[in-house]
Structure 1
Amino acid sequence: MSADFEQLLNDFLRQLSVEQSASPHTLKSYQRDLKQLMRYCSDKAIKNCSEVKQADIRYHIASRYRLGISGKSLQRELSAIRSFYNYLLKNNDTNSNPAQYVKSPKPVRKLPKTLDVDQITGLLEAETSSHLETRDIAMFELFYSSGLRLSELAALDVNDIDLLDHSLIVRVGKGGKARLLPIGSKAISTLMTWLALRAKIAQTCETALFVSHKGTRLGQRSIQARLKQWCQKKGIAEHIHPHMLRHSFASHLLESSQDLRAVQELLGHSDINTTQIYTHLDFQHLAQVYDNAHPRAKKKIDSPTVNKQKTEKPATM
């Protein structure tokens, strides 16, 4: 692989960061995906970006699929490659985009796992025994109350919360979009308790809403670890991750309101098709209620009995 290829990749990532304000997560994903393409080109002795053909992209994606990479991940890789080549086209470093018409294997659409209301109640209304557990419950309540992503919750500052208005602002959501979200009364109560404790823990110049025992911003991995630890303490065998609380928020809200557009706005989805996956969860719930409650909806169907008695011939009139 030529040094020019590597330099073009670095220039592309710099442009994403500076001009498009791409998040660190997006930059890391693009870099990882395009490094895979560079390895392929190196194996095939392709030295320049302009030498990559459509057949190369197809073969590269097919090889990745055979390694067990999911269709969803390959869609993301193709998107990264297309964006990279569009950048090269714009700067006259190539004459075509070899990934433009390449399709990835269709991903298997998996329904997100959710918790039912009783499970949520058991998780969030358990007694706490330390300042840090009080903080944790405030975090978990906020996940479920406002449908936040893990990155969004970790990035919250104290000034992003309005306790009087019962709202919060996500300043940089997915795709760089901001949104205003409501906060439920249960979450408000736990936040007020936590903020009183936070004042004694947080370092003087720390702006983060949720801080560690050292007084600094709590990272995403620490939040994940705290949820896992809390579940273990409460004897919950199922693996519960932060996004499951977001899924539960969406599923329960849609089940009660039937307002898909509102749920889309609250979740910060740019495409309503992403939100529609929760309608499948809602239908599963309705179908289960129907099967359990409707007198003629039982799964087991009895075979009709044959009346072996001879029927009397009707009298002629």
Structure 2
Amino acid sequence: MAPLGTDRRKVARMPMLLGEAVELYVRARVDRREVRPETARVFREALRPFAAAVGAHRRLDSVERADLQAWLAGLRVAPATVRLRLSTVHGFFSWCVIEGHAERDPTAGLRGPRKPRSVPRSLSDAQVARVLGADLTLREAVLVRLMLDEGLRAQEVAGLELADADLAQRTLVVRHGKGGHERVLPLTDACAQSIEDYLGERGRGAGELVLSETNKRSMVGSGLNPHSTAKLVAEVLARAGVNETGHALRHTFARRLLDAGASLRDVQTALGHASIATTQVYLPFSGVIDLRRYMGEPEAPAA
């Protein structure tokens, strides 16, 4: 072991072979109890084929960026697997640099295939009808309406205070959005009514808007947390026969705005997105609808 204060890279002994370094890396991570044996097995299964492809008997410090690019190009696996393997190799080389076995990390700045951005899943009108027509408690109805009619995230619902809902002015202040941004939304009549109905059960004392099951009356700290909020809404959807998460209600809110003709900027504001690029993933929802609405049958060419 190197004396305290000594740079490990300065006490590196002999040049190490790539295959040797891989085995040493996996053993060291296990011996130091930094990873579980199961994780070490995953590392080994990723790093041994990598070393074989690049050259297990070549010197570790001879591996170049071009070698890694050729290895990546030769992988015949899903993009997600490519990203995982590259991350494992990057962790290996970072360790080699820290331990003094390599002078540099050839994976630095090397990127795998981009993760495709999937189109958010929204509920169909029939699914929405099933959810709203289910036997909902007053509290469940509020949770569903806040996510479906107002587009709130679970964490935003959990962060609402009673004072944030102005039923007279039909407005809702959302103070716990991502990044700490605050926004004001108009309350739909249906959402306002669900809150009014729920307050008859909850009481009108100050505190969290939606309370936990064990606290029927408002007390500080008796509100739902984001996890329990999402779980309750997911249970409602399951009872209605809808195999989606509660976040799909927020996606449905966004899709409905776009279908009604709202601009992308307005939808961004309503959803509380910091960047309009995040909102743009909702465009395919209305894109197909618009095409069906505006594209007629092409005219047959003249004979």
Instruction: Provide the C-alpha distance between the structure 1 equivalents of 2:123 and 2:294, rounded to a whole number of angstroms.
Output: 20
Matched ranges for 1:153-164 at <5 A: 153-164=157-168
Letter in structure 2 aligned against 1:140: V
Match of 1:230 in 2: 236
**Bigger Cα displacement from structure 2, 140-149 vs 216-225:** 216-225
Letter in structure 2 aligned against 1:209: L
Partner SS state of residue 184, structure 2: strand
Q: Deviations over 1:253-298 (max 9, x none)?
A: 012124111111111111111111111111122234467xx3x269
Deviation at 1:127, TM superposition (A): 4.4
Instruction: Provide the C-alpha distance between the structure 2 equivalents of 1:137 and 1:107, rounded to a whole number of angstroms.
Output: 36
Fraction of identical pairs, as percent? 27
Q: Deviations over 1:230-267 (max 9, x none)?
A: 23333x1x312121011111111012124111111111
Partner SS state of residue 276, structure 1: helix
Instruction: Provide the C-alpha distance between the structure 2 equivalents of 1:182 and 1:99, rounded to a whole number of angstroms.
Output: 50
Partner SS state of residue 185, structure 2: strand
Check 1:198–1:289 CA distance in 2 against 1; reply closer, same or farther (3 A cut).
Answer: same
Q: Deviations over 1:13-44 (max 9, x none)?
A: xxxxxxxxxxxxxxxxxxxxxx99xx99x999
**Bigger Cα displacement from structure 2, 246-255 vs 115-124:** 115-124
Instruction: Provide the C-alpha distance between the structure 2 equivalents of 1:221 and 1:277, rounded to a whole number of angstroms.
Output: 25
Matched ranges for 1:1-317 at <5 A: 70=80, 101-128=109-136, 133-199=137-203, 207-215=207-215, 216-234=222-240, 236=241, 238-289=242-293, 294=296, 296=297
Match of 1:50 in 2: none
- Tell me, yes or no, if the aligned pair for 2:161 and 2:209 is still in contact at 8 Å: yes
Check 1:172–1:288 CA distance in 2 against 1; reply closer, same or farther (3 A cut).
Answer: same
Deviation at 1:157, TM superposition (A): 1.4
Instruction: Provide the C-alpha distance between the structure 2 equivalents of 1:117 and 1:154, rounded to a whole number of angstroms.
Output: 26
Check 1:113–1:98 CA distance in 2 against 1; reply closer, same or farther (3 A cut).
Answer: same
Q: Deviations over 1:111-150 (max 9, x none)?
A: 111113343233224444xxxx111011101111111111
Q: Deviations over 1:87-106 (max 9, x none)?
A: xxxxxxxxx99998443421
Query: What stretches of structure 1 of length at least 5 have no aligned partner?
Result: 5-34, 45-53, 82-95, 305-317
Partner SS state of residue 257, structure 1: coil
Check 1:125–1:104 CA distance in 2 against 1; reply closer, same or farther (3 A cut).
Answer: same
Q: CA RMSD in A?
A: 4.2
Instruction: Provide the C-alpha distance between the structure 2 equivalents of 1:112 and 1:279, rounded to a whole number of angstroms.
Output: 10
Check 1:258–1:193 CA distance in 2 against 1; reply closer, same or farther (3 A cut).
Answer: closer
Partner SS state of residue 208, structure 2: coil
- The list of structure 1 runs, each at least 4 consecutive aligned residues, that deviate by more than 6 angstroms after superposition, is 65-69, 96-100
State the TM-score, normalizing by the size of structure 2.
0.60
Query: What stretches of structure 2 of length at least 5 have no aligned partner?
Result: 5-33, 48-63, 92-103, 216-221
Partner SS state of residue 277, structure 1: helix
State the TM-score, normalizing by the size of structure 1.
0.57
Larger relative contact order, structure 1 or 2 (CA cutoff 8 Å, min sep 6): 2
- Tell me, yes or no, if the aligned pair for 1:253 and 1:263 is still in contact at 8 Å: yes
Instruction: Provide the C-alpha distance between the structure 1 equivalents of 2:223 and 2:179, rounded to a whole number of angstroms.
Output: 23
Instruction: Provide the C-alpha distance between the structure 2 equivalents of 1:99 and 1:209, rounded to a whole number of angstroms.
Output: 50
Partner SS state of residue 110, structure 1: coil
Letter in structure 2 aligned against 1:213: E
Instruction: Provide the C-alpha distance between the structure 2 equivalents of 1:185 and 1:100, rounded to a whole number of angstroms.
Output: 54
Check 1:222–1:285 CA distance in 2 against 1; reply closer, same or farther (3 A cut).
Answer: same
Check 1:99–1:148 CA distance in 2 against 1; reply closer, same or farther (3 A cut).
Answer: farther
Check 1:107–1:255 CA distance in 2 against 1; reply closer, same or farther (3 A cut).
Answer: same
